[in-house]
A and B are shown apart, each in its own frame.
Chain A
Amino acid sequence: MFRTGSRGTHDTGPAAEALRLVKVTKTYGGGDSEVTALDGITLSLSRGSFTAVMGPSGSGKSTLLQCAAGLDRPDSGIVVVDGAEMTGSGEAELTRFRRSRVGFVFQQYNLLDTLTVVQNTVLPLKLAGRRVDRRRAREILTAVGLGDRLGHRPDQLSGGQRQRVAIARALVTEPRVIFADEPTGALDSRSAREVLRLLQEAVRVHGRTVVMVTHDPVAASYADSVLFLADGRLAGHLHAPTADAVAERLAHLGDDVPAGV
């Protein structure tokens, strides 16, 4: 099994494991146009790790994130989040599974334009029927630097500010794992740095586990480790990455002997 952990926590029990995938496969289309997006992925991420998933376009990194996050069902294989196996195929079941365990940050923010910053932040709690602690929501928003923007609507905010709202929204339900899909893809470099620092903080201060799909070596360098993906398979990993090392590795991804798969 391919294991990766930021602090070498391989041997601790399953409770320390935030996310585990076992032989996950996913194919799209059928017949001649069949595309294998995930080809038997097996991996394990320990609690409190910050992992970047990288690979060329079409390597399956977005599919990996969606299957791991319960946004899509794999064709076969097992997904375990925080010790609970993802079962059930209906959207409602998957939604209920995600609510307490998983948070999201997307490239396009995916905030609701009709709601204010605070309302967007507490929406997951409302939907889950959980008690809404407005003071806590305000604390989190202040921590991401939006304490003076509580009543604004997304269309009154910059891209960086919107992404910080999305991070606050992902933190408010106190999920075990936060999945980020190209969170800095639509941001200028300054806003991108802020967002990446907030994701780092979510790991170091709040003890969350972050899985981030990105194509940007600089963004990946904020993670504790990087997983490389090519043609739907794991193609190596890099511990304590630097932007240069990641870029170098990406450039020669095709030459690599897949490690540990």
Chain B
Amino acid sequence: MLVLALRSVRQRPGRLLATLLSAFLGAAIIMTFNSLHDTAGQPGVDSVSAETLTTSASVVGGYGTLLVFFAVASTLTVNVRQRSAELELLRCSGATPAQIKRMVVGEAVVVALAGAALAIGPAMLGGHALLGVFQDSGQVADSVDYAFGPVALVSGVDITLVAAAGAAFLAVRRATRPAVRRGRARTFLAYGALVAGAVSVTTTFAFSATDAALMAAPAYGAILLSVGLAMLAPRLLNGLLAGLSLTGASGWLAVRTLRRRVEHVSGILMSLVLFTAVSTATLTMQSVESDAVAASGLRKSVDAKNLETLNLTVVGIIAVFVCVMLVNSLYAATTYRGGEFGRQRLAGATPGQVLGTVGVETAVLTAVGVLLGSVAALAGIVPFTMVRTDGVLPGQAPGIWLAVSSVAAAVTLGTSLGTARRALRTPAVAAVATVA
């Protein structure tokens, strides 16, 4: 079956590109941050430099890892689901569920390994640049040399592999056993993430205002909460759709289509919720932190400015990563719908109506995703602000939230409409025929 997996990878490199891209980006991010551990672990590095490096590797690398894990997993889930027809065909030609599982998981492992291998070079460059930023800000001694070692390599490869193989395993199990409803495990995981997130957010209060790692607890908490909420999102979406009635052909079709596709869009919702939560939470916390430093008047110097730049760089990398994952999974999901669009067109939908339907669907998704992400972000921001300053909600929060939501809406709508537009270039009759 592994031979079949390899052959299957070779036969359709294009369709696996989305998975490869997410594995590559995920591994690159993890390796970049974890190589700071390797750098700090070298003999001859002074303790201050080592501590700075280890702290940022643990804080940012830690929640970065969590993010990468869920982002890779959700992209892979989208991809495996698209192949249900192919898997069904394999099953009909005599493949046992175990064989199919081995093929899909084997394929995911091959792609994840390729992605991780490709990521080593860029991660080295990225880590080098990151160390440079630390050194420019004076937090790390200039004498420290960059090192890319076992911690970066092992963590990068392992996490990408586990995320890819785990997601493929779960997705293929769902695909090969359509009758089994596995709501309970999902609910359990979702509530687990919510509880863990709540605990993490609450521990913020155990830190003092000037602790270097103060931001870690609420940031972890916000991400865990967003994961939990994202897992429950399909249910919420279901509830919303049951009561939602839109007029116009596009609205009517969009609501009815979404009701049946809730399971399919859960991966996209996950990316959307994560993006909103992570970007809003970390950017707001950073801006609160910067203001607090400025207000204390202690180090209103070049150093403080540099530190802010450094933190924003790190947050930016993570936000861009999640954004790319969102585009990636949306693109994969929309490309796959060419056949469905073809059937709509043959039933009398103009290209404009098809795009209108996609637009309405995406708008509903964006609204739900941004709402849940905002709730998770708020749960992280409020405790942090309370500990760091005297206030509850920082004044910059609405502005940052608005900016993040606008980016989320623009990216989501832009990707799905752009991809749908491209899918519409294929004549309807051909679109219906080609997608099996």
Contact = CB atoms under 8 A, between A and B. Distances in A.
Most chain B C-beta atoms within 10 Å of own C-beta, residue among A66, A95, A106: A95
Interface in B378-436: 424, 427-429, 432-433
Interface string A143-161: 0000000000100000000
A111 B344 CA distance: 8
Given A71-B427, A111-B343, A96 B350 contact: yes
A100 B252 CA distance: 20
B346 A106 contact: yes
A126 B253 contact: yes
A126 B256 CA distance: 13
Contact of A91 (B257, B351, B432): B351
A36 interface: no
Interface stretch (A112-120, A199-207, A239-247): A112-120
Contacts of B351: 91-92, 95
A66 B429 CA distance: 9
Given A115-B256, A124-B347, A129-B249, A92 B352 contact: yes
Contacts of B429: 66, 71-72
Which of B348, B349, B432 neighbours the largest number of chain A CB atoms within 10 Å of its CB?
A: B348
Contacts of B428: 71, 91
A113 B260 contact: yes
Interface in B342-383: 342-353
A127 B347 CA distance: 8
Contact of B348 (A106, A119, A123): A123
Interface residues on A, range: 20 to 34
Contact of B349 (A66, A95, A115, A153): A95
Interface string B238-262: 0000000000010011001101110
Nearest to B343: A110
A193 interface: no
A106 B344 CA distance: 13
Interface in B98-146: none
A92 B249 contact: no
Nearest to B342: A110
Nearest to A65: B429
A173 B346 CA distance: 14
Contacts of B349: 95, 127
B46 interface: no
Name the residue in B257, B340, B350, B428 with the highest tally of chain A Cβ atoms < 10 Å from its Cβ.
Answer: B350
A9 to B, nearest CB: 29
A203 B283 CA distance: 67
B351 to A, nearest CB: 5
A169 B349 CA distance: 14
Contacts of A50: none
A254 to B, nearest CB: 28
Contact of A114 (B249, B257, B347, B424): B257
Interface in A201-215: none
A228 interface: no
A221 B349 CA distance: 33
Interface in A67-106: 71-72, 91-92, 95-96, 98-99, 104, 106
Given A91-B345, A111-B343, A114-B260, A123 B253 contact: yes
B249 A127 contact: yes
Interface in B191-214: none
A27 interface: no
Interface string A118-139: 0110011011110000000000
Nearest to A116: B256
A127 B348 contact: yes
B340 to A, nearest CB: 7
Contacts of A6: none
Q: Which of A111, A126, A129 neighbours the largest number of chain B CB atoms within 10 Å of its CB?
A: A126
Given A108-B432, A110-B432, A115-B256, A123 B347 contact: yes
Contacts of A128: 249, 348
Nearest to A92: B350
B259 A112 contact: no
Nearest to A104: B346
A110 B340 CA distance: 9
Contacts of A173: 348
A104 B346 CA distance: 8
A190 B413 CA distance: 47
Contacts of A119: 256
Nearest to A66: B429
Given A71-B427, A111-B343, A112-B340, A126 B350 contact: no
A95 B348 contact: yes
A112 B347 contact: yes
Residue among B253, B261, B346, B347 with the highest chain A CB neighbour number at 10 A: B347
A33 B24 CA distance: 41
Nearest to B424: A91
Interface in B248-280: 249, 252-253, 256-257, 259-261
A35 to B, nearest CB: 16
B252 to A, nearest CB: 6
Contacts of A66: 429
A153 B349 CA distance: 20
Contacts of B261: 114
B347 A169 contact: yes
Contacts of A104: 346
Nearest to B427: A72
Contacts of A129: 249
B118 to A, nearest CB: 37
Given A110-B343, A115-B257, A127-B344, 13 more contacts: A66-B429, A71-B346, A72-B429, A92-B350, A113-B340, A124-B347, A124-B348, A126-B249, A126-B252, A127-B249, A127-B347, A128-B348, A129-B249
11 contacts: A71-B427, A71-B429, A72-B427, A91-B424, A92-B351, A92-B352, A95-B345, A110-B432, A112-B257, A115-B257, A169-B347
Interface of A: 66, 71-72, 91-92, 95-96, 98-99, 104, 106, 108, 110-115, 119-120, 123-124, 126-129, 153, 169, 173
